[in-house]
Amino acid sequence: MSKNSKILAAFAISCTLVVGLVNELTKEKIKAQEQLQLQKTLHSIISPERYNNDITNDCIEMTSTYLGTSDTQKGYIARLNNNVQAVAITAIAPDGYNGNIELIIAVNMDESVSGVRVLKHQETPGLGDKIELRKSDWITTFSDKKLLSQTDSRWAVAKENGMFDQFTGATITPRAVIKAVKNAVHYFNSNKANLLTQPNVCNSEALDLIEDEIKPKQSTPTQEKEND
């Protein structure tokens, strides 16, 4: 039994080392694939002709219940010659039929919607999964829409006198998505001036520069006294 235990322990250690090695060798490739997928999604909701910055590495963080979660969400900024054209915000529809629906919502600076895509969901196949672009073009109906106010009654399914179709046999899913997009658009439109002054959290070099600028100010006794 002692011999078998040692063999089993050695096997377990070997497996752990192999898994760790494989993870180490593939993590950069996985990260690169994730960036490519993110870029592809962003291109689908903000036309790449509209910006010339590296949008996947130009982002801010935001936290608000309007984004459907207490977790921090990201906003990817599209700039043309350093002028902001649109921001793509990640958000959650927490009241989907089968749980959370993860979304990314691009809003133009004129407060119209540039595009919306579903990133992840567990809705019922054949019914709620029509929020996916590969299943239906329903998600594209948000493009160019504007939110007139937080109480804009047009942002509802057609059976509730809204401007968005519901799905046959499935109203909960589209209703949840419409509500989440509406809330995210309202949040951005109400806070964009402040949000666009936030530091870039996707660029470590930018963060290092910010820290370098802050440190000298904090180390000066006179300035610390003035801030009290």
pLDDT in tens, the chain (228 residues): 666 666 766 666 767 766 666 556 665 666 667 778 889 999 999 999 999 999 999 999 999 999 999 999 999 999 999 999 999 999 999 999 999 999 999 999 999 999 999 999 999 999 999 999 999 999 999 999 999 999 999 999 999 999 999 998 899 999 999 999 999 999 999 999 999 999 999 875 444 444 444 455 444 443 333 333
User: Do 66 and 190 contact (CB within 8 A), yes or no?
Assistant: no
- Say how far apart CA 98 and CA 25 lie, in whole Å: 36
Same domain, 67 and 97: yes
Counting the structural domains of the chain, the total is 2
* Nearest CA among 187, 136, 188, 134 for reference residue 164: 136
Same domain, 81 and 141: yes
Same domain, 123 and 161: yes
Which residue has tokens 């046959």? 168
- Give the ranges where the chain is alpha helix by DSSP (H): 2-45, 172-195, 204-218, 221-227
Same domain, 62 and 3: no
How many other C-beta atoms can be found within 10 angstroms of the C-beta atom of residue 103?
A: 27
CA 139 to chain centre: 16
Domain residues for the domain of 169 are: 49-205
The pLDDT value given to residue 21:
65
Same domain, 95 and 55: yes
Largest Cα–Cα separation, the chain:
74
Same domain, 84 and 170: yes
Same domain, 152 and 176: yes
222 falls within a domain: no
5 three-class SS = helix
Same domain, 90 and 199: yes
pTM: 0.76
228 falls within a domain: no
The pLDDT value given to residue 33:
75
